[in-house]
Amino acid sequence: MSANTELQQRSLAAVWHPCTQMKRHETLPPLAIARGAGAWLYDLEGKRYLDAISSWWVNLFGHAHPAINAALKDQLDTLAHVMLSGCTHAPVVELSERLAAKTGQALGHCFYASDGASAVEIALKMSFHFWRNTGRPQKREFVCLKNSYHGETLGALNVTDVDLFRDAYDPLLHHAHRVASPDARLGETPEAAAKAALLDLERLLSEKHAQIAAFIVEPLIQCATGMAMYDACYLKEARRLCDRYEVHLIADEIAVGCGRSGTFFAWEQALQSGKGWPDFLCLSKGISAGYLPLSLVMTTDEIYAAFYDDDVTRGFLHSHSYTGNPMACRAALAMLDLFESENVLASNRLRAARLNELLQSAVADSRIRHFRNRGMVWAFDAIVDDETKAASFSRRFHEAALKHGLLLRPIGTTVYLMPPYVLDDAELVHLAEGTLASFDEVMA
């Protein structure tokens, strides 16, 4: 038995894999990974795959990055963990200060957790609790976009609109209001799609604002539904509507933050003269560069002040055991250092231009609709009329891509790339050629 097969069989006997119908693994077992280096993952027999989706969008600087490794080795010998309730430590302080500075102190307070769904629930709870503390407890409903994804714990599922993840648990949920998505594919132009969606948001807010605590949105790209990209004018106007109707705005930047959209925070593209930040901003996934679980919620002085009191119960009494873990914060600091020392946003613009050039043939391909790119995200929709073929498209593409040395998993019939910020020219060529060749094979 090969080393790969042996590990795969033990995994299937003992590990319940996430987001997976385990029976599917009878035909395609999970990839057995021994190690990672840069953009590459290596299996137990030395075959390598370019990690074109940054391992579920988290490994922003690839695998085993020397600078992040060194920072973590140092942190390991200093302080691996201490509770954040009643204690503090330098990495969590420095991380909070540096992130706040990136918002010009608009979001000056940072609350920590370990995963994205928890960050979303923290923002929802904080919003509700703010209104309760300020004498408006009736504001306890939430609004999300159609096709939104904000995580899969029960609270986060209330604001998630992906049927596949939600329907089985529907009897357990308290649904949020759902308003039209500004998905650019839905309009004549991206601006027209945004305008139509804004009408729906305004209709709901004008009618129900007395009961609504917050509107939660994935800025610029609804990732999990299949990289639905939209115009920043939607966010500017949504900010204005939320101000007018006294509704909090929660920016879920768990996937699009940390440079993925082309700016450090996606929301920067919706600011007007540096103003108009959301009331809450959630980060996770890339914040710790794929090293350790970390998430956080940034918020304003105004919201923070509404909890500051002699009365304990007016405080935000929420916690997780690993809240603000020093190792995870140190990984985040090393990630921020790389942004500065390597001028990442500028070098990503060059990578994006090059990859667009290499993928040029897909733009005009008659088998493809809606080729799109924003920052370091690419996507296109395959035109597959046959239903059975459409249903198996993602699995077949995934298998074809592996043969071309690529880890790529389409969402339905949407092929997308979310590569790490480390690809050199040869790797960009490998990525583009492998993607196009896999597509040809699957469509043949």
Ligand X SMILES: *Cc1c(COP(=O)(O)O)cnc(C)c1O
- Binding-site ranges for ligand X (CB under 6 A): 115-117, 120, 149-151, 218, 223-224, 252, 254-255, 284-285
| DSSP state, residue 152 | S
CA 106 to chain centre: 22
Q: How far is the CB of 222 from ligand X (least distance, A)?
A: 8
The set of residues, in sequence order, having a beta carbon less than 8 Å from that of 115 and lying 6+ positions away, is: 151, 284, 293, 295
212-217 and 248-252 strand pairing? parallel
**Cβ closest to ligand X, residue 331 vs residue 428:** 331
Contact 324, 288 (CB under 8 A): no
In the complex with ligand X, which residue's Cβ is closer, 8 or 114? 114
Nearer to ligand X, 209 or 285 (CB): 285
DSSP 160: -
Q: How far apart are CA 131 and CA 115, in angstroms?
A: 25
- Which residue in the shown chain puts its C-beta closest to ligand X? 116
What six digits make up the tokens of 183? 């998905």
Find the Cα–Cα–Cα–Cα dihedral 228, 230, 235, 236, rounded to 10°: 180
- DSSP H helices in 158-313: 163-166, 190-208, 233-244, 301-305
Instruction: Report the candidate in 256, 225, 192 with the shortest Cα–Cα distance to residue 381.
Output: 225
Nearer to ligand X, 260 or 351 (CB): 260
Residue type, 103: T
Q: How far is the CB of 6 from ligand X (least distance, A)?
A: 30
Spatial distance between the Cα atoms of 265 and 247, rounded to a whole number of angstroms: 21
CB of 253 to ligand X, least distance (A): 8
Tokens of 33: 């990974």
Beta-sheet strand order (sheet of 414-417): 368-374, 377-382, 414-417
Shortest Cβ 280–ligand X spacing (Å) = 13
CB of 393 to ligand X, least distance (A): 22
- Residue with Cβ nearer ligand X (151 or 375): 151
**DSSP alpha helices (H): ranges in 26-84?**
54-57, 66-76
- Coil, strand, or helix at residue 215? strand
Residue nearer to ligand X on the CB measure, 202 or 268: 268
Q: Which residue's CB is nearer to ligand X, number 150 or number 351? A: 150
The helix (run of H) or strand (run of E) holding residue 213 is strand 212-217
Nearer to ligand X, 260 or 398 (CB): 260
Q: How far is the CB of 336 from ligand X (least distance, A)?
A: 19
Q: What's the min distance (Å) between Cβ of 122 and ligand X?
A: 12
Least separation, in Å, of the C-beta of 285 and ligand X? 6
